[in-house]
Amino acid sequence: MRQFKAQRAFDRQLEWYERTARALATLRLLQIDAYDAKDSERDVQEKASDELKKGFFDLQQCTNEAVLYAEQSSYEQLHGMGNKALSMTTEVLRDTLIELSKPVRKMLGLKKIVLKAGEK
């Protein structure tokens, strides 16, 4: 029974990391779309803005759940990112996504992601 509970906890933690990684990646794309829409018609701008708000909400939900599932470093990274929300850039989102992936990649036995010079 103890092994079953441990496996279930692991599955929930992994699912949270996957959901959070998706929320970060989606928010990064939505931010680019909102920037591209700034010179578009009003309805296109509003749609992009609404989608961006939804993306922020989804990420906030994941950040709220970090207290349950995140490793200490991931928890700190997410909450630190929240403090930078007003000046959030795609680079901040990418960096947070990479940091957040470290415990998951370790769990899965994958090597760490190393950005090439042109990707920074």
Q: Is the pTM of this model over 0.85?
A: no
Confidence of residue 42 (pLDDT cuts 50, 70, 90): confident
Contact indicator for 103, 71 with CB cutoff of 8 Å: yes
At 100 the pLDDT is 80
The tens digit of pLDDT for each residue in 59-117 reads 889 988 888 888 888 888 887 876 665 556 767 777 787 888 888 888 878 787 676 66
For the cut 90, the answer to whether the pLDDT of residue 40 exceeds it is: no
Handedness of CA 82, 104, 70, 10 (dihedral sign): positive
Q: How far apart are alpha carbons 1 and 58 in whole angstroms?
A: 33
Q: How many domains does the chain fold into?
A: 1
For the cut 90, the answer to whether the pLDDT of residue 51 exceeds it is: yes
Q: What percent of the chain has pLDDT over 90?
A: 20
Average pLDDT over all residues of the chain? 83
Structural domain of residue 77, as residue ranges?
A: 2-119
**CA count, 13 A, side-chain hemisphere, 91:** 5
At 85 the pLDDT is 59
